[in-house]
Amino acid sequence: FTQTNRDNSEAIVIRVPKCHAGGAVEIIHHFDTSGALYCPRVIIEAAENSEVSVVERFVSADGVKALVIPVLEVNAAQAARVSYLAVNELGAATWMIAHQEAEGDRDSNLNLSVVALGGDYARVRTECRLVGQGASAQQVALYFADGTQMHDFRTTQEHVAPRTHSDLLFKGAVA
């Protein structure tokens, strides 16, 4: 499933039913207007023992001077498996200030990844809460910046329940 979102005015809600192992969902946001504020929002609700992969792409041309403020909310029920990848392909004049929140219930697995290639200033704040025993999370980022680009990552991993596990791996290069 692929959805191209040029309007960005309504939240995209992905509900994955119990015991469902779905294919990948791709969402592409195109930002075309300088001087604009874009606030795309994606909500992923993964029911018990479900599985879903979501790729969200953010795209603008080099000359577009805009501010993009995407919001992601992930709720993984018991034993749900959610993989999410954000790909920043923004032009050199676009700013992004992203906020991601994820919560994992008992025995769930969250994989939250970011590939940051574009934008003038790009910040991603990720808050991950493991609220059920046995929940796990992986946060991964890969970034490349050149010239005056700045990539700013801020993460928290909150282990609310006992016997939870999280990994954090960020790698990048600057030219």
Residues 6+ apart with CB under 8 A from 63: 34, 91, 93
What is the pLDDT at residue 70? 97
Q: What is the pLDDT of residues 2-25, one digit of tens each?
A: 455 555 568 999 999 887 776 789
Residue 9 CB-density burial (10 A; 0-12 exposed, 13-18 middle, 19+ buried): exposed
| Cβ atoms of 28 and 57 closer than 8 Å | yes
Q: Average pLDDT, stretch 53-60?
A: 97
pLDDT tier, 98 (very low <50, low <70, confident <90, very high otherwise): very high
Residue 159 pLDDT greater than 80, yes or no: yes
> Cα separation of 41 and 145, whole Å?
25
- Identify any residues that bridge with 154 across adjacent strands, giving them in sequence order: 125
What is the pLDDT at residue 33? 95
Dihedral over alpha carbons 74, 77, 79, 80 (to 10 degrees): -40
* Percentage above 70 pLDDT, the chain: 94
Q: Burial letters for 116-144: b for 16+ Cβ neighbours within 10 Å, e otherwise?
A: bbbbbebbbebebbbbbebbbbbbebebe
Q: Is the model more confident about 23 or about 89? A: 89
Q: What is the pLDDT of residues 111-141, one digit of tens each?
A: 999 999 999 999 999 999 999 999 999 999 9
Q: What is the pTM of this model?
A: 0.93
Q: Average pLDDT, stretch 24-46?
A: 95
